[in-house]
Amino acid sequence: MSVFSSRTSGYKAGVMLLFFSAIAFFVGYATPFWAYDSTSSSDSSYLGLWMVCASATSYGASRTRCVTYPLDFLFPWFHAVRALECFSLIGLFAACVYALATNCCRSFPGPVTRILEALSAGSGVLGFIGCMVYVGEAATKEYFSWSLYLSAIGSALCVVAGIIIAVCNKPLPTSAVGAGGQVITMATISQGQSYTTAGGQAQAQPYGNAQPFGNPQAYGNAQPYGNPQAYGNAQPYGNPQPYGNPPTYPSPQPDQTVKAGYP
């Protein structure tokens, strides 16, 4: 289970706002609709940080062509705006990568740092300053378009996200993250206090420290038994008496011959 599941609701909202703001800023940064310049009723052009798109209507058909700015055509303040927006984009990208690495790629909470908050708020400030410089230095004939608004709003929301994360980024106990993202503080259990989950609700009251038993009482030395009494020598039996000769029986008498008939 990742560490992000055990964060507070405010911290999660701040991180999600950071990603949403970074996406909004990038869309405004890349699209060529920062300003709208209309030189005539039939021709118009859309200006961005990196290219200009011209639209012309001839014979009832509208055609649009986009080209990049020539470097010798740009004013110094425009280079400053582009540099500020580039630094802001790099900072927001680093903030998003750091948020993923510290919240979604870890199973155990680390020490509390303010790197994420500093990257988010600092990048938002740079992006918003760039937008304000563009607004102050642009020609009056240009009408600002939605890309500029999107970049300015995304930058401002990045600052808000950094503030929310800074307020809600509180230290988590250095312990294992249990099933369901519950964080159990082993130190509080050993001190006889209740352990809590990420929501701050007590789950159980553990017992206090166990009192160790005293040293066991040693018994005296066991008395050895004496030598076993040996029995006397066994008396051998005498030689067995032989049996006498068996008695002789008389020889059986032959049967008498019985003559046929009567005498």
Residues whose CB is less than 8 angstroms from the CB of residue 157 and which lie 6 or more positions away in sequence, other chains included: 17, 20, 21, 24, 124
pLDDT for 261 beyond 90: no
pLDDT for 193 beyond 90: no
Model confidence band, residue 142 (pLDDT cutoffs 50, 70, 90): low
Higher pLDDT pick, 4 / 232: 4
| pLDDT tens figures, 230-254 | 556 656 666 666 666 766 666 666 5
Q: Looking at residues 32-38, what average pLDDT do you find?
A: 83
Q: What's this model's pTM, rounded to 2 decimal places?
A: 0.61
DSSP β-bridge partners for residue 195: 204
| pLDDT tens figures, 61-95 | 667 788 887 766 678 888 899 999 999 999 999 99
Domains (ranges, CATH) in the chain?
A: 3-171 (1.20.140.150), 173-204 (no CATH)
Compute how many other C-beta atoms are within 10 angstroms of the C-beta atom of residue 167.
13
Q: Looking at residues 38-58, what average pLDDT do you find?
A: 74
Q: Looking at residues 152-172, what average pLDDT do you find?
A: 91
Q: Looking at residues 214-221, what average pLDDT do you find?
A: 60
The strand ranges marked E within the chain are 35-37, 43-47, 51-58, 61-68, 142-144, 195-196, 202-204
Please count the CA atoms within 13 angstroms of the CA of 49 that sit on its side-chain side: 24
Higher pLDDT pick, 169 / 55: 169
Which pLDDT does position 254 carry in this prediction?
59
Q: Looking at residues 216-233, what average pLDDT do you find?
A: 60
DSSP string, 144-208: E-HHHHHHHHHHHHHHHHHHHHHHH--PPPSS-B-GGG-B--HHHHHTT--EE-TT--EEE----
Q: Which of 30-34, 72-76, 120-124 is the most confident on average?
A: 120-124
pLDDT for 30 beyond 50: yes
